[in-house]
Amino acid sequence: MTGVEKAFNGATALAGASLEILPGEVHALIGQNGAGKSTLIKILTGVYRRDAGQVLFRGAPARIAGPREAQEAGIATIYQELNLVPLRSVTENMIMGYEPKRLGVFIDWREAHRRAREILMRFGIDIDVRAPLGSYSTAIQQLVAIARAVSLDARLVIMDEPTSSLDASEIEVLFGVVRGLRAAGVSVLYVSHFLDELFAICDRVTTMRDGRTVDCRPIAGATKLDLIGAMLGRDTAEIAADGMTEFGGGAARQGEILLRAEGVATGPRLSRLDLTLHRGEIVGLGGLLGSGRTEAARALFGEDPVTAGAIRLKDAPSAPATPAQAIARGIGFLSEDRKAEGIVPGMSVRENLTLALLPRLARNGQVDRARERALVQRFIDALGIKTADMEQPIRELSGGNQQKVLLARWLAIEPEVLILDEPTRGVDVGAKREIQAIIRDFVGQGHGVVLISSEFEELVEGADRIVVLNEGRTVTELANPGITEDRLVRALAHDRRVTA
């Protein structure tokens, strides 16, 4: 792929991007969110049509108009969200669209099951192919997706964050499959934010930034700092420079401790979280995508079970085991994905705002509507939520006003601690400032906030301290005054195992 360009409604997504993959090569594609990786892949697989540039596949111009044509040409994609049917059998998922027939009409199930078993055994997978796919682990489902792709004579397999939901042993099984594909001459494009995986499995790596291809190099001889520097557009010497405080080395804090996490682990994506939140304080969680930030938030809210370490809310000896317990004990959690995990689009502003508060508004199973309406109106006025009335469906509001409704949902339970995962993502500048003012006011009333943001400026300007996560571990803490974006970038790249 050379000189590939793509724009959406005048906004440039790709600007002269390029990608070269050799036969039998495992090639990594990396870059921050919005770098253009997904757009480049969708052009390669025919989901999008490029505005300019050239695509050659197996030495000839690629004329791929859609995913089906890509598959027929020998390009198979395994997405992070598996596009399989869990309620159907393993066999049905393996042969979907390519069913063996009897008399040209009926599916030959005996042949289908035989074929499915034979393909899976090539990958060392011995399972009942007649059982529903959803009855097996995510790792098995992932391997079934790969086996299906290879069974269709794929010459290039694209894997999008293939290990995002796998544990360490399952990752090793996947790596064995990838090595087998390479040995058979099949190329693999491996998209991942987990840099350790690239050094374990990949031959070369291409880095994208702001819609452009900025670097391509062999993995051998490269360091994590090289890759992070390419992704961020920073010099490795600058990233490697000293100037960070070790965890726990910040200035003395004022106020009662509201929340403390010590050595908290929930799985492979969060192996050690150390964090202390004081009353009247905003603590930022910094880290590149995949560093464990969201997993840390879910652990603090009782959404993911803690497998090691301890979480204490004030003087309580144990952490909330469920979100319901967290809410009852004064913790609110504004999740990252407003559409999937926040709003209920078909419900009104009133119904969305009071979701977490309903148990307190109910008496003998009946919600006190007058009290509910008064509370909703108070928050509409206090937060400046622009809505025709409280019965307007929330889906009709702007993104910024939807976010304010979600903030109001958690403020209404009168929490002591708010965990905010990307609270200003996808809102305009005006709404962003209003939301930041709401957060400051909440903290000014003596509460505490754990703030997650991909925007360095938001963390630097908004947080009293920033706890930095690197590959699931707390590695560094920065304290204000004195935090700069440059210091934060150096902290994000900090890894005692890495030398420039």
CA 151 to chain centre: 29
Domains in the chain with CATH codes: 2-222 (3.40.50.300), 257-492 (3.40.50.300)
Give the integer Cα–Cα distance in Å for 97 and 80: 21
C-alpha pair distances (Å), 195 with each of 40, 223, 228, 384: 20, 9, 9, 43
Helix axes 138-151, 168-183, angle to 10 degrees: 10
Amino acid identity at 399:
G
State the chain's mean pLDDT as an integer.
Answer: 84
Give the integer Cα–Cα distance in Å for 285 and 15: 32
Could you give the angle at the alpha carbon of 33 between the alpha carbons of 489 and 76, nearest 5°? 135
Tens-place pLDDT, residues 329-377: 889 999 887 777 888 989 999 999 999 888 888 888 888 899 999 999 9
Tokens matching residue 463:
């947080």
Q: What is the pLDDT of residue 219?
A: 94
Identify the band that residue 224 occupies on the pLDDT scale cut at 50, 70 and 90.
confident
> Is residue 250 pLDDT above 50, yes or no?
no
> Is residue 471 pLDDT above 80, yes or no?
yes
More confident residue, 500 or 9: 9
> Is residue 495 pLDDT above 60, yes or no?
no
pTM of the model: 0.60
Give the integer Cα–Cα distance in Å for 451 and 293: 10
Give the integer Cα–Cα distance in Å for 462 and 464: 7
Q: What is the pLDDT of residue 251?
A: 38
CA nearest to 150, candidates 176, 114, 188, 112: 188
pLDDT > 70 in the chain, percent = 91
Identify the band that residue 237 occupies on the pLDDT scale cut at 50, 70 and 90.
low
Tens-place pLDDT, residues 375-411: 999 999 888 888 888 999 998 887 788 889 999 999 9
- Bridge partners (DSSP) of residue 157 are 76, 188
Tokens matching residue 76:
């198979």
